[in-house]
Structure 1
Amino acid sequence: MTGRLVRNTMASATAGLSVMLGGFLSTVLVARMLGVEAAGIVAFATWVVTVSIVVADLGTPGTLSRYLPELLARGDQAEAAGVTRHLFRWPGIIVSLLFLGFGAYAIVIAASGGTAESGSSHIRTDSLFWILVGLACVFQTAANYVNGYLRGSQGFGRMARLAVLSAVLQVVATALGGWLFGANGALAGAIAVGFLPSLLLPGILSRRGSLSPELRRRVDRFTFETWLGYVGTAFAWSRMEIFFLERSWGTESVALFSVSLTLANLATQGPLLLTGGLLPYLSEQSGVNAGEKIRDAYAIGTRLIAFLVLPACFGAAAIAPVLVPAIYGGAFAGAVPSAVLLVAGAGFSAASSVGVTYLLAMERTRFVFLTGGVSAILVLLVGFTVVPTFGLLGAAVARVSIQTAVVLARVWYIHRSLKTPTPYSSLARILLAATACALAAWSCTRLLDGVAALAVAIPVGALVYGVAVRIVHALPRSDYERLNKALVVLPSAIRVPAVTILRLLCP
């Protein structure tokens, strides 16, 4: 992998880490300041915004990340600008219609005499809630498009700076809004997080260019098929269970499920951020027909992401009974069983994330659409049957089962249709080491109580994982060398201990 890929990956990781921490701190603030019920209201709003964005952006940020690197690598600036302007038309129209729809619903509520109440009644009777949700959709859709453009044009440094500032703005807006105006005020954070990137959109769209009919067909087909896959996948990955939980069990159940998913995201997003520069790199290589490099990148990326994400997820699941109350408070202890399941299961889906990037780079969007569609059908069936009967735990079990099935189908397809083997042997050794990490951390929580258990369990789990990795030879030496080179871009205060750890891990 090139030095530019490493730099882009680190910048993308910085951007993603900022977004993740901003969202995480915002949920903690809401939970601590406003309680379980208000946290459920904000979580429901976040889910509505997330699903609305999936519908509105039509998968165009992913298309920009796929095609701009290929065009710019050929020096075709005019067609790159043409693709950028062409892709924005429908997202702009759809998000405008969504905002008008939320506004119309708010007017209907106001005309019927609706007032702000608590819990689920708040969601159905407060017109201001839906106006704020609509504004969040507009700003976040625009921000997603800008971020897709920056990824595709290799502007990762600029994207990282914007993400850091946006995360700070989100936390401040959530805290001030929640303190002054309660659950509705906390939604200011969902609006603020998309504000700064949105300011770049007019300048990006002002650049004129050309677009050949052949490229237009490729771009439109990729966008449409990818979007259909994203829509289906959104049901399985984007908290669709929240809708059914709110209808059957109320906003408190929504809050507990959201906390469980937030912990799962916290455990997985750090390693996943390292894949941010991978799609532009693979797309660029596909444009110059570098097939062997693409296959190598898939195998290397899969091993390294699993190396980082599996111990993080298994370890977090092991300490979840102590971690959840410590972060969110004792009122959220009911989220522990679902958190254990969701965090552990997220490790497998996150470890396969490189496979999705590989499929998109190879333009195998129809398979993404197929698996997304099947996932959507399964989630709907579960939502109408399992969730109303078994509630929070049923939703967690079903989610993990569906996502695991998708992962297995993805690995099978890549191996059979793309003739690209998955590094099964390394993954099995990493899984064994991650299991040892989880057992060690869990043992500490059984021997100690409270925060002291966390203070001991985390370093003990990490130490056991390191020893197990060295004993079972989890990674080939070449992967350690790649990690060592990647660490060059880090500050010395972080790089020196990280390099030392790598030397200890490598047999």
Structure 2
Amino acid sequence: MDLDRSSVALYGARIVISLVGFISTVYFARELGSSGLGLYFTFETVVNVLAVFSRFGVDNAVIKRMSAADTDAERGRYLTGALAVVTVPFVCVSLVVLLARGPLDALFELALVPLLVVVLAVETAQWVLISALRGEQRIATTAGLELLGELARIGVSVGLVLAGFGAVGLVYGLMLGQFLRAVAAAGLIRTRLRRPTRETVRSLLSFSKYAAGMNVSHLAYSWFDTLVLALLASKAAVGVYESAWRVSLVVMLASSSIGVALAPSVSSWHASEEWDRIESAVSEAVTYALLLVVPAVVGVAVLGEAFMEVVYRFETGGLVLVVLVAEKLLQAVKDVAQSTLLGTERERVVFWTNAVTVAANVALNLLLVPVFGMLGAAVATFATAGTAAVLQVAVLRRSMAFGVDRRAVAWQVGAALAMGAAVVLASRAVPPTTVPRLFGLIGLGVAVYGLCVLGHGGMRTRLLAVLPRPGSS
């Protein structure tokens, strides 16, 4: 139940984050256009690419080592060691950024390199500190911090756009949101700093070097496509593609929240050799990670084109959205499998499976984007997620017995198809040509799917069990 509640807390926060993030992106798209929005997305992409190398997997190592530590002193040594270790790659990356100032400013079409270094520093710090909170298994706390940072980012960004700062206002908003998140995380960590030993540093590095490979894979999966579009296409293409990508991320909230909450719990059970609990948790996690993804695929197949046109006022992007949402079926399974592999100290397997997917993603993007543009990037992402999911599930099944509740998943598929049929019939009478009509059809789909899902006894019991009750802690 702790795992369920942690997942729900993080999921709830990310629902709010996604909602306000979506509304703000719509506002920025209408105020700045796809090109202005694409400029900001290009900057954010470069930050996320460089942050992977500046963290060097230390954030994942902190979660693993602190969650498995037996004493507060041991946790303190890991936290201090992580903060010390992460400074080295950050300094190296910052020097490279400063040396490459000319090409980077040309990519941004503005002189943003000094801001890039500052944002990178804050980004690196906040990830390590939030990972420490997750290592303390305080998932609900990190959910609140994610929400705080996002609200601050959006609030500052809107204010600066209104003041005439344009896309640069979004950059300042990003910097402040991360800064507040880092400061709040530092104040909330219960673990006190302790002098690390050589063994502490060695233990962190032994895990982080493999986690870094995992993060590079995430980099290729999440950001390489956008980077290639920025280099080979246009800022407008970046704006449309990233807007579609962020809509698709909403359907991943459940599975990513389950994955984040699963990792420290699996690590703790692995330390005490409670394999039966791990197998049971993984089986349920895979089943319920698909709960929102399945209907989303049907929904965007029916309303995706109208959504991009009516909401963002983009003339294209509907097919790209369909491919990106369909890819989330594969990514949902990968999230659970990867969290389990890391929690059971199989980081070497994660490293090598992700290395394969990195190579596939890079090759496919470079091959498809010049020919097919945004659609090529979406197809490359779909293929990458599929490769990673197949490899990691195959490895995981060699060491433990787990599966999915086939009846529950079949019920989800049936409910999604019923939802799609209802929306198609309703759209003939009420075409989705305005925002109220579009969201009315979406609301109808949500209601139909929700009622159908609640008709399944097992899913109804599980969903009701994780809801907060009066007097519960």
Shared fold, TM over 0.5:
yes
1:133-175 alpha-carbon deviations (Å, 9 max, x no partner): 2222211221111111111113334433333322221011211
Partner of 2:234: 250
Q: CA deviation at 1:431?
A: 3.1
Establish whether residue 143 from structure 1 lines up as the match of residue 126 from structure 2.
Answer: yes
Alignment partners' CA distance in 2, 1:47 and 1:464: 37
Alignment partners' CA distance in 2, 1:42 and 1:394: 22
Partner of 2:438: 454
Residue 67 of structure 1 aligns to a residue in which SS? helix
Establish whether residue 83 from structure 1 lines up as the match of residue 78 from structure 2.
Answer: yes
- Equivalent residue letter for 2:206: R
**Residues 258-337 of structure 1 correspond to what in structure 2 (within 5 A)?**
258-270=242-254, 272-329=256-313, 332-337=314-319
Partner of 1:398: 380
- 8 Å CA contact 2:365–2:380 kept in 1: the answer is no
- 8 Å CA contact 1:17–1:273 kept in 2: the answer is no
Closer, same or farther: CA 406–385 of 1 in aligned 2, 3 Å: same
Partner of 1:485: 465
Closer, same or farther: CA 490–133 of 1 in aligned 2, 3 Å: farther
Structure 2 residue runs of 5 or longer lacking an equivalent are none
Residue 334 of structure 1 aligns to a residue in which SS? coil
Residue 240 of structure 1 aligns to a residue in which SS? helix
- 8 Å CA contact 1:414–1:421 kept in 2: the answer is no
Could you say what the CA RMSD is over the residues aligned between the two structures, in angstroms?
2.9
Partner of 1:231: 216
Alignment partners' CA distance in 2, 1:358 and 1:290: 13
- Equivalent residue letter for 1:33: E
Closer, same or farther: CA 196–366 of 1 in aligned 2, 3 Å: same
**Residues 420-435 of structure 1 correspond to what in structure 2 (within 5 A)?**
420-424=402-406, 426-435=408-417
**Residues 358-369 of structure 1 correspond to what in structure 2 (within 5 A)?**
358-369=340-351
Aligned length: 467
Closer, same or farther: CA 427–388 of 1 in aligned 2, 3 Å: same
1:13-67 alpha-carbon deviations (Å, 9 max, x no partner): 3443454445434433321211111111111111111111111112222222222
1:169 aligns with one of 145, 148, 152: 152
Residue 24 of structure 1 aligns to a residue in which SS? helix
- Equivalent residue letter for 2:146: A
- Equivalent residue letter for 2:59: P
Closer, same or farther: CA 144–253 of 1 in aligned 2, 3 Å: same
Q: CA deviation at 1:428?
A: 4.1
- Equivalent residue letter for 2:463: L
Closer, same or farther: CA 491–164 of 1 in aligned 2, 3 Å: farther
Q: CA deviation at 1:387?
A: 0.9
Q: CA deviation at 1:442?
A: 4.1
- 8 Å CA contact 1:242–1:254 kept in 2: the answer is yes
Partner of 2:390: 408
Closer, same or farther: CA 164–460 of 1 in aligned 2, 3 Å: closer
Q: CA deviation at 1:211?
A: 4.8
Closer, same or farther: CA 370–29 of 1 in aligned 2, 3 Å: same
Alignment partners' CA distance in 2, 1:416 and 1:436: 36
Partner of 1:240: 224
Closer, same or farther: CA 189–24 of 1 in aligned 2, 3 Å: farther
1:380-436 alpha-carbon deviations (Å, 9 max, x no partner): 212222110111112212221221232222222222343433445543443343344
TM-score of the superposition, structure 1-length normalised?
0.83
**Residues 440-479 of structure 1 correspond to what in structure 2 (within 5 A)?**
440-449=422-431, 450=433, 451-466=435-450, 468-469=452-453, 477=458, 479=459
Partner of 1:28: 26
Residue 93 of structure 1 aligns to a residue in which SS? helix
Closer, same or farther: CA 109–359 of 1 in aligned 2, 3 Å: closer
Structure 1 residue runs of 5 or longer lacking an equivalent are 115-120, 493-507
TM-score of the superposition, structure 2-length normalised?
0.89
Alignment partners' CA distance in 1, 2:272 and 2:364: 44
Alignment partners' CA distance in 2, 1:201 and 1:455: 36
266-275 or 221-230, larger mean C-alpha shift? 266-275
**Residues 8-27 of structure 1 correspond to what in structure 2 (within 5 A)?**
8-21=6-19, 23-27=21-25
Closer, same or farther: CA 131–424 of 1 in aligned 2, 3 Å: farther
